[in-house]
A and B are shown apart, each in its own frame.
Chain A
């Protein structure tokens, strides 16, 4: 909102809205005026070979490939035109000649309006104005430094491809195209951000995805009205179904293999220029607990790990709460020997179990946050040192009991073992809710909290797909790839809950 008020106050650009004219100099002046003649705006007038015509190249030096402009555009215009016999007689002919023969560039387009020209130039393309013609030629000369392709840090696998998305959209599209050579793979382009005009792509495989799903996501993407879209998180939060839910309804990943797998299932992906994070949807509860590695490893191990992850998810939410409930409300539910030893370790701890638990959980979250913020080499050590030292010292000082430290550590480990980071975040959030419930009503509170989560999740949808499929609306077929991962030979069909048009997985 703040930005938008700024936007209206900006000088000139509001009222200065020139048209393309046939006068070359006038066009160039207009462009200069619109951009306030920045330093990196290059306007180069070139006589066209040995003809009487002249033309001008407009580009921004920082965004374009200078070598390409020099060698494939300027050189060609100067040299090839000289060699061409007969020389063009009219401007139209010249334009056609340049477009078809002179420029040895693949990406060529005729601009229709000044807006197109501006967008092209600001995106790193070059506009070629020809004396006397209103419509310039847009030449694709984008070229800037991009990051090298690296393995995504947040989603490392032991087995699996080592490449990841980067900030450059074209490279990211290339990643997907390289993996899916299906002619039905579609990339629907969008521009988002009033100011940033970022490129965005909606990717899906036509004939696999449910057609209404594309319509729906298209509708939602059209509604996006933002000033600036620095990250796909903006898109996610704009198009998600429920913003009040602690659960994410759209997945994000840096891994091309995850995206291609999603596309092949009948999901769609949204790629945004400027961020390596690609969104995939519709998601359900189960798909957040899936790691691509489940499929790369043999099915038995994949299944085992998945079961473990569900267990971890439960731990991540309920373990500290159970600790509180069992210790403060229902020590009868702990086996006797364990109860005695817990009571012994708690002896001398001044705080009730719930304060102890909140204290330690808060410390843990703090450590986590600090570990992320600190420079990488320090970050790791702070995690270990902080965890060990604070834990040990807290026990020594008698502030917490050793078993609490164990519970906290186990909870943290559990929440780290959830593959989707955004999903793990929501569990971290829910953990505190569960702890409050346990503090107030013990076991009764925990069960009610569990029921509340279930109700909420049952009501939740991601792009019209119930969040709890295949358990919610029951699809036996999809249970093959739910808690357990069936052998690949048995996964011959795409998940039913996405209602793909093409069911068979060939």
Chain B
């Protein structure tokens, strides 16, 4: 039935770029200005973001290089070529856990924000549950469709984020960005460390590259995707600083939403703009969660080839639900976040670099 070249199991360049972008612009976007501003004086966090972005771009490129060395090969297959089979199994399994945590963290993130602003009395369990149902529905469908959903949503997300920031330009006070460079390097690096987590999602490239139409372009597309979300993050951060000011951002749970809530369009439109913000954030967090879930399934089904996708969804979705419901408070959410940070550093920095180096050393894979 798949007689059209593009409608088969492969994904195009744009799909990959968008996938990289939208896994990064996720639940974190809401809290992001707070967590970065915490470490820096005034608006200097943008430097941290720049540093984090630069590091991420470099390592994303490394990861993409690693993946494109083995065109049309799954992660498990090429890692077992590079390192031994048992090691590759362990790695894949750890990645599965990592993405499982991301999926549940994203789910919990949207649930908390929705509960606070939209459904204060609805039990979190219910909010998480129906969200997960939709995620599962998406994951059960075809993988290309999942990435296509990204492709619909992400441009919308990016567009609305930009529009919302620009609609606020009246309240933007450039003076709030002063003083510049007041923060010392250690703090800037701490900020960068916090900001880095938001860019660490590029590791999905390791898994999705094998579905690429043109595996050669993996590196380029990963970097493009990263640049897009990097731009959005810088924009969100600078506007949060200019509109709320650094101190306020630091003390606001969801600075990004606070920015959206402060919009007052001239002549008051039919619906306030913040609603659009909620909508796009649900979309993008949905993208993050579904993609992370999908990567978990890629990992697991590459290890256990006989088990069907449906079975995985049925096993994993309750697991994600439980993980998402585990943190009881805001503080515990922060703790689970720090666990994620650890994972993120290990998997997005250490693993791709060492794998690529070993691969080069042993001469495995195509050298372009």
Contact = CB atoms under 8 A, between A and B. Distances in A.
Interface of A: 210, 212-213, 215-216, 322, 326, 329-330, 332-338, 441-445, 447-448, 450-452, 454-455, 458-459, 461, 464-466, 468, 471-474, 497, 499
A132 B7 CA distance: 60
Contact of B272 (A216, A334, A447): A334
Nearest to B141: A459
B131 A473 contact: no
Interface string B120-153: 0010000100110010011001101110110111
Given A210-B3, A451-B282, A454-B152, A441 B122 contact: yes
B278 A210 contact: no
Ranked nearest first, the 8 interchain pairs of A and B with the lowest CB-CB distance are A212-B3, A335-B268, A458-B145, A459-B145, A459-B141, A472-B148, A458-B148, A447-B282
Name which of A441, A455, A468 has the most chain B CB atoms within 10 A of its CB: A455
A441 B274 CA distance: 17
Contacts of B7: 461, 464-466, 473
25 contacts: A329-B118, A329-B119, A332-B272, A333-B272, A333-B274, A335-B268, A335-B270, A441-B130, A443-B275, A443-B278, A444-B282, A448-B130, A451-B134, A451-B282, A452-B137, A458-B145, A458-B152, A461-B7, A464-B1, A466-B7, A472-B151, A473-B7, A474-B14, A474-B151, A499-B5
Name which of A213, A326, A451 has the most chain B CB atoms within 10 A of its CB: A451
Contacts of B1: 216, 461, 464
Nearest to B122: A441
Interface of B: 1-7, 12, 14-15, 114, 118-119, 122, 127, 130-131, 134, 137-138, 141-142, 144-146, 148-149, 151-153, 268-272, 274-275, 278-279, 282-283, 286
Contacts of B130: 441, 445, 448
B151 to A, nearest CB: 6
B134 A326 contact: no
Contacts of A466: 6-7, 148
A447 B131 CA distance: 10
Given A213-B3, A473-B6, A473-B7, A468 B118 contact: no
Contact of A335 (B12, B114, B269): B269
Contacts of A448: 130-131, 134, 282
B118 A330 contact: yes
Given A443-B275, A444-B114, A464-B7, 16 more contacts: A212-B4, A216-B3, A329-B118, A334-B272, A442-B118, A442-B119, A447-B282, A448-B130, A451-B283, A455-B149, A459-B141, A459-B142, A461-B7, A466-B148, A474-B12, A474-B15
B182 to A, nearest CB: 37
Contact of B141 (A212, A442, A455, A497): A455
Nearest to B10: A473
A354 B170 CA distance: 38
Contacts of B5: 499
Contacts of B146: 455, 458
Contacts of A499: 4-6
Given A442-B118, A458-B148, A210 B4 contact: yes
Contacts of A471: 151-152
Contacts of B272: 332-335
A336 B271 CA distance: 10
A441 B119 contact: yes
B118 A444 contact: yes
A408 B271 CA distance: 18
A444 B127 contact: yes
Contacts of A333: 271-272, 274-275
Name which of A210, A216, A338, A472 has the most chain B CB atoms within 10 A of its CB: A472
A230 B153 CA distance: 42
A472 B152 contact: yes
A338 B270 contact: yes
B2 A464 contact: yes
Nearest to B287: A451
A455 B3 contact: no
A461 B7 CA distance: 9
A474 B19 CA distance: 13
A330 B152 CA distance: 26
B20 to A, nearest CB: 15
A319 to B, nearest CB: 11
A448 B1 CA distance: 30
A374 to B, nearest CB: 36
Name which of B4, B151, B153, B282 has the most chain A CB atoms within 10 A of its CB: B4
A254 to B, nearest CB: 29
Contacts of B15: 473-474
